[in-house]
Amino acid sequence: MTEEPRWLTDREQRAWQAYRRMFLLLNAQLARDLGQDSGLSEPDYDVLSSLGAGPRHRRRISDLADHMLWSRSRLSHHLARMEKRGLVVREECDTDGRGAIVALTEDGLLTLDQAAPLHVESVRRHFIDLLDPEQIDAFAGIGERVVNRLAPTGDDG
Amino acid sequence: MTEEPRWLTDREQRAWQAYRRMFLLLNAQLARDLGQDSGLSEPDYDVLSSLGAGPRHRRRISDLADHMLWSRSRLSHHLARMEKRGLVVREECDTDGRGAIVALTEDGLLTLDQAAPLHVESVRRHFIDLLDPEQIDAFAGIGERVVNRLAPTGDDG
DNA sequence: GACAAGTAGATGACACGTCAACCATGGCCC
DNA sequence: GGGCCATGGTTGACGTGTCATCTACTTGTC
C-alpha cells in the first residue's frame, strides 16, 4: 500500500460499467443480426465494405489493414478464410513484388450489396435510433477523444 | 431496391465510427496494459474481480455467468484455463448435485490484489480521465439506454 | 418411485485474434 | 553489385468465444 490508487467514483463506475456492458451486448446483437441476415461475421462485413468503398473494389493489403486498424496478421488470416469462401481473391501487385492486392469477387460484391442495408438497419435499431441528436454528437465527441489519445495516427500529447 | 434503407447521416456516421474505433483501440490498450502489468487477460481480470467482490471469494458458476453476462459455455471454458493456471478452483455444490462453485485460490486473490489498482489506473488513463464530468454522465446514460434495450434482464419495450 | 422436462455444467469442433517467427522483395549504401 | 536492414505478407501455435451436443442431476406429476 505504497501509493493509494484513485478508485473510481460512483459516477465513473457507472460510466465504466456502461461501457463494458454496452459493447458486450451491442456487439453480440449486431453480430447475431448480421449472421442471420447475411451469413457474415462483423469482421467479414468490415472487410467487404472497406473493399467495396474503394475504386474498382480492390485494395493493397497493407493499405487495407492500416485503414481498418487491423494487424497485418489478422487481416491475412481473415482474408484466407474469406478467400476460401469465395468472397474475395488475392492478386499480385504490379508495382511491388512483395505486395498483394485483395479484390471483391462478384459473389463478395453481391453479398455486400445485400448485407449493407440490413446491417445499417440493425445499427440503427440497436444503437443510433435510441439516441437523440445531442447524444449522437456527445458520443462522437467522447469516442474521438479517446481514439485520438490511442490512435497511432494522432499526436498523443 | 424495394425499400429504401435509411442510411446514416454524417453525424450518425461519425458516432458510429467513433464507437467502432473506440472499442477497437481502447480494448486493445487495456488488454495490453493488463497483460504487461499483471499477466492477465481482460476476461481473466473480470472473473477474478467478480469472484473477489463476493463473499468468501467464491460463487456459484451459473450465478457468476449471469452476473457477467457471459454464456455458461464461455465461462466454463475460461474457468478451465484459469484453473489450469492455478487462479481458481472448482468445488462441489452442497445444495445442488448438478451445480459447481468456483473459488479464488490464494494465488488468484494475490494476483487480483496486485492487478486491481494498476488496472484502475489504466482505465483512468485511457478513458475516464479523458472525459469531463458531463461526458461521464452522458456516456453512462447512453450506455444504459442501449443496454436496457438489449439486456435479457430488462424489459425491452 | 417412475418418468418427462428442465437446469447446471462440461465438451468438441470450429471461427477468430495475437504473437513471434519466417520468407521474399525493395531500398540504401559502399 | 554485394551486404544490410526495412517492409509486405504469410504461417503456426496458442488463447479465446460460439454453437451444438452431451451428461448428470433436479423437479414436477402421476
Nucleotides of C under 7 A from a protein CB: 6-13, 15-21, 24-27
∠ CA A57-A63-A64 to the nearest 5 degrees? 55
**Angstrom distances, CA of residue B93 to CA of A89, B52, B76, B102:** 53, 19, 16, 10
pLDDT tens, per residue, chain A with 157 residues: 445 556 889 999 999 999 988 988 899 899 999 999 999 999 999 999 999 998 999 999 999 999 999 999 999 999 999 999 999 999 998 889 899 999 999 999 999 999 999 999 999 999 999 999 999 999 999 999 998 887 755 433 3
CA of A101 to C1' of C26 (A): 17
d(CA A53, CA A58): 9
* Model pLDDT, residue A157: 30
Sorted by where each starts, the structural domains of chain A and their CATH numbers stand as 40-129 (1.10.10.10)
Taking CB atoms and an 8 Å limit, are A136 and B22 in contact across chains? no
Among all protein residues, pick the one whose CA is nearest to the C1' atom of C17. Answer: A74
Residue B44 phi, psi dihedral angles, 5° rounding: -55, -50
> Could you say which residues from 86 to 145 on chain B have a Cβ atom under 8 Å away from some Cβ of chain A?
116-118, 120-121, 123-124, 126-128, 130-131, 133, 135-145
> Helix A42-53 crosses helix A61-68 at what angle (to 10 degrees)?
120
Proximity of residue B21 CB to strand C below 7 A:
no
Taking CB atoms and an 8 Å limit, are B8 and A124 in contact across chains? yes
C-alpha cell at B63: 450465478
Taking CB atoms and an 8 Å limit, are B25 and A128 in contact across chains? no
Taking CB atoms and an 8 Å limit, are A21 and B124 in contact across chains? no
Residue that has been written with the C-alpha cell 483512468 in this structure: B124
